[in-house]
Structure 1
Amino acid sequence: MPSKTPEKKPTAKSAAAATSTKADDKKAAPSKPNALQQPLTPSAELGAVVGTAKIARGEVVSKMWEYIKAHNLQNPENKREILADDKLKKVFGKDKVTMFEMNKYLSAHLK
């Protein structure tokens, strides 16, 4: 007695997946390097805080936060605000910035 379940027919998706090979995967365009990992040169003003050697953008942000916390530069009433000391005033151009604005000012000091 034959079963009443219908046979599965291959779909276009499964047929394409079956014909894909590892060689096809290798031909794919190489991905762009992550912008956070590309080494950049800090300006002299920023270099006073994070060092003058080439450094990745993500590492710059980490070192900035280390500096901010080590020198107690966060506003105690609003931790999102950074109160600039003499070194940071040269980078930010003003007395205080929010943590969200910080990256905008850092970009101007990285080449």
Structure 2
Amino acid sequence: MSATTTAGAIRSGEVLACPVTLRRAPVAAAAGVVSFRMRRVSAAGRLAVRVVAAASAEGAAEAVEVAKGKGKGKKRSASGIMKPKPISPELREFVGGAEELPRTEALKIIWAHIKGNNLQDPNNKKIIVCDEKLKKIFGGRDRVGFLEISGLLNPHFQK
């Protein structure tokens, strides 16, 4: 097959040689949906495109909505450890006065403090040597294992 084949002459399941720039979202055609799937065909790294056509008006309309960014893909509300929850006064003081905070964000702030103040044990990086701020959060402990941090944060988050 030549590289000058037009879109009207391409049949479903046909393999074409093409440049990498053809990797794009599905294209809506008048007869249905046409999408391109890339795959490697040789050791030299040449690419081929498999043309897949679906002849349904609903599929074409759906493909146009997906290409425009509508329809599926609604943003869900935060849940689990991503959901902001009220925090204790000790943790509130540490993070700068926020009333609510997700657990993930609290861990990021604590790790930024640990890295910024070089609080990891030089002999064993898995051990955190607590300064005065961290001692307030971790119940007065001098040394904490990095796997213990999330467990020690449990009392600071109200359920």
Structure with the higher fraction of residues in strand conformation: 2
What secondary structure does 1:36 align onto? helix
Moved over 2 A (4+): 31-34
For structure 2, the residue ranges without an aligned partner over 5 or more in a row are: 1-75
Pick one of 57, 75, 79 that aligns with 2:121.
75
Report the aligned-residue RMSD.
Answer: 1.7
Match of 1:4 in 2: none
| Range with greater deviation from structure 2 (44-53 or 78-87) | 44-53
Q: Does 1:98 align with 2:148?
A: no
Structure 1 letter corresponding to 2:138: F
Structure 2 letter corresponding to 1:104: G
Structure 2 letter corresponding to 1:64: I
| Deviation for aligned residue 1:51 | 2.5
TM-score by length of 2: 0.47
Pick one of 76, 85, 94 that aligns with 2:131.
85
Match of 2:112 in 1: 66
Structure with the higher fraction of residues in helix conformation: 1
Structure 2 letter corresponding to 1:88: L
Structure 2 letter corresponding to 1:87: K
What secondary structure does 2:112 align onto? helix
Pick one of 41, 62, 73 that aligns with 2:86.
41
| Deviation for aligned residue 1:32 | 8.8
What secondary structure does 2:144 align onto? strand
Change in 2 beyond 3 A, CA 1:63/1:87: same
Structure-1 separation of matches of 2:77 and 2:105: 19
Structure-2 separation of matches of 1:41 and 1:84: 24
For structure 1, the residue ranges without an aligned partner over 5 or more in a row are: 1-30
What is the identity percentage for the equivalent residue pairs of Structure 1 and Structure 2? 38
What is the 5 A alignment of 1:22-41?
A: 33-41=78-86
Is the CA contact 1:83–1:97 (under 8 Å) kept in the aligned structure 2?
A: yes
